[in-house]
Structure 1
Amino acid sequence: MNVSIIIVSYNTCELLRNCLTSVREKTCGVDYEIFVVDNASNDGSCEMLEREFPDVRLVRNRENRGFAKANNQAILMAQGEYVLLLNSDTVLENNAIGVMHEFMRAHPRAAVCGPLLLNADGTVQQSIDTHVTALSILRKSIVGTTGIGHRFFQSAYHPRSFDYFKRFQLADGWLTGAVLMIRRAVFPEVGLLDEAYHFYNEDADWGLAVSRSQWQTWFIPEAVVTHFLGGSRKTQSEEQEISFKVQYFRQNRYFFWKNLGTVQYGAFRLAAFCVCAMNLLRRAIMTAVSSSEKRLSAIFKMRLGWKLFLASLEHGGDKGFGNRQ
């Protein structure tokens, strides 16, 4: 078996159908198996799979176990020499799996490679980034909160600032987990995905572990995949949206606490506190002066700001995120 394709799905029936159809239609020259790990979907995803893709190995979870745990389930069952982690909100535009498989076979020190990702409109999507530091998280906090300094602070791997999408490249960084082809032999050395991450950041965390080993990370622009960014996230209630963003903030903090040492973790906590405090103050002022038509939206944003501010006061090991390694 050449490649074990693993797709984690949660209520993404139509996206999943399109993804699997593209795998079936575009992939050639590769012997592969497909696992779909369903995280307790209630939209008919499992029934669709059994009806339209009977060759797919379906793993049904009774609860949403998150991205990392669900992928690890199938990785432990995989028989392929290589494992392809594939988001359900992706569509292959060419024989991307065949291209990456051929590259991995020709480069025995490659632990992982990823394709060129496109947005739905055909523009290039950032799929590689430098490893996270206190400075980079501060950059993202400033840009994300105030909107200023975008070009000054942008990543060296941003499509506007670097032509990485034009050529094969040995990456000094990590690849997004939307599409990753991984040599299965590296897992005993590097480890599986950290299951403390329910969603997001597990790719950056695992990519950092690869870079600290003797293995290599490669970007393969000849393999092309469209990624409908965020398509696997459904519309949420206000409470769910607040919970999601607070959880994401905590996972960023956990990443620093686990990986980057006391100084950088302290710098992150200080930056996070300052940004969250400034954001809360801004939201409070906007709520006070908002018109009646915009009052509900302003109150929601202030509630979110308050929750994030409280989260900024927590320690990295709190909330069930395990112990520093």
Structure 2
Amino acid sequence: MATDVSIVIVNWNTKEDLRAAVASCLAHPGELNVRVIVVDNASTDGSADMVREQFPDVTLIANDDNLGYTVGCNQGMRAAEARYYLMLNSDAELTDGCLPELVRVMDTHPELGCVSPRLVYPDGSPQVACGSFPRLWVRLLPVSLIVRIELARTAAFERPGEFYPVDYVFGACNLVRADAVVKAGMMDERIFMWCDDAEWQKRMRAAGYQSAVVNGATCIHRVGTSTSLVSEIRRSLRNSMSEFTYFRLRHGRLATALLWLVRTLYSLVKVLILAPARILTAGRVQRIRTGYELARWRLWFHIAHAPDILWREPRPYRAEDVTPEAR
């Protein structure tokens, strides 16, 4: 029997969450013929062994190194043959009826290339499931303003009905049409993780497909289980590199250079303001201390990695590639 959906789960050191994610996939396929593929990125917590022992029917791809989210997703898709791919985070769980509803909507709306269910926290409270494509003028603003603008933009997408179109859906739980992948290509492996969903769906949009959130499907998402294993500074710098890579790939060097310049000056100003404040408070105020450390490392990062940001061929940046000292 032909496979309707190949479910790809990329994992890094989230054994217990992974167990729940795989179990939810096997428990809620509806009438669909599904195949579950787990790509483990060299976890050290026994994740791969758990899959082998407890889910023998699940296809396991065990990498010898942490190759990143995009590489893992592409490995899973290459190993799959199906009408649809479901890219499911290891800290997400399908609920009853979620996958059949996503497939039903995609089957009846061929213009859709990628859809997400509504995302909720484990307590049932709603979670943001989509975003607007990164725009240069917005990204030049301070972070607090960026967050406000993006939340307002996201709220503007929402509407009742079967589904609502958006710029892109977040990567926690994406059902992707295989034909859309053929036309737009797989995920760009030059992005380790973060901004990968926006970049991929930007290409799908160019290939003639829309993204949407399906109101009648729900997925539980615990948010950031694996990313929490990396320090805040390293996460911030790695995510910054992914954002710069997105602008290099989608908007070119000039836009990226302007973003880099503004971000570098912003970090410099913060360092000049927070350094004396840190001295005056003898480092006892945590907000000042952590703000200074983050600004200092961001300034260093923008200067030290300028060649990679501005003119070298983009490559995936892991957290440990940022700097050994930023812990």
Matches within 5 A, 1:1-325: 1-139=3-141, 141-143=142-144, 151=148, 153-158=149-154, 161-162=155-156, 164=158, 166-236=160-230, 240-261=231-252, 264-291=255-282, 293-294=284-285, 301-313=291-303, 314-315=306-307, 316-317=309-310, 321-322=314-315
- Which amino acid in 2 is paired with 1:308? R
Report SS of the residue matched to 2:140.
Answer: helix
Report SS of the residue matched to 2:100.
Answer: helix
Cα deviation code 1:51-70 (max 9, x no counterpart): 21111100000000000001
Give the conservation status (yes or no) of the 8 Å contact 1:133–1:264.
Answer: no
Give the conservation status (yes or no) of the 8 Å contact 1:38–1:46.
Answer: yes
Report SS of the residue matched to 1:33.
Answer: strand
Cα distance, 1:254 vs structure 2: 1.5
Cα deviation code 1:197-244 (max 9, x no counterpart): 1121110110111112211212101110111111222434xxx54333
Cα deviation code 1:153-204 (max 9, x no counterpart): 343444xx44716433452401111111111122222011111111211101
Cα distance, 1:130 vs structure 2: 1.3
Q: What is the distance in 1 between the residues matched to 2:122 and 2:276?
A: 37
- Which amino acid in 1 is paired with 2:314? F
2:323 aligned residue: none
Report SS of the residue matched to 1:99.
Answer: helix
Report SS of the residue matched to 1:171.
Answer: strand
Q: What is the distance in 1 between the residues matched to 2:36 and 2:51?
A: 11
Shift in alpha-carbon separation, 1:251–1:114, aligned structure 2, 3 A: same
Shift in alpha-carbon separation, 1:283–1:165, aligned structure 2, 3 A: farther
Moved more, 103-112 or 12-21: 103-112
Report SS of the residue matched to 2:9.
Answer: strand
Shift in alpha-carbon separation, 1:16–1:268, aligned structure 2, 3 A: same
- Count of aligned pairs between the two proteins: 311
Give the conservation status (yes or no) of the 8 Å contact 2:157–2:164.
Answer: no
Give the conservation status (yes or no) of the 8 Å contact 1:8–1:36.
Answer: yes
Give the conservation status (yes or no) of the 8 Å contact 2:30–2:100.
Answer: yes
The TM-score normalised by the length of structure 2 is: 0.86
Shift in alpha-carbon separation, 1:167–1:312, aligned structure 2, 3 A: farther
Cα distance, 1:303 vs structure 2: 3.7
Give the conservation status (yes or no) of the 8 Å contact 1:280–1:302.
Answer: yes
% same residue = 23
- Which amino acid in 1 is paired with 2:193? F
Report SS of the residue matched to 2:65.
Answer: coil
Shift in alpha-carbon separation, 1:56–1:119, aligned structure 2, 3 A: same
Cα distance, 1:48 vs structure 2: 1.2
Q: What is the distance in 2 between the residues matched to 1:246 and 1:320?
A: 18
Give the conservation status (yes or no) of the 8 Å contact 1:130–1:155.
Answer: no
Report SS of the residue matched to 1:155.
Answer: helix
Cα deviation code 1:78-111 (max 9, x no counterpart): 1111000000001223321111111111112221
Cα distance, 1:286 vs structure 2: 3.3
Q: Considering only aligned residues, what root-mean-square deviation do their CA atoms show, in Å?
A: 2.4
The TM-score normalised by the length of structure 1 is: 0.87
Q: What is the distance in 1 between the residues matched to 2:147 and 2:198?
A: 22
Unmatched runs of 5 consecutive residues or more in structure 1: none
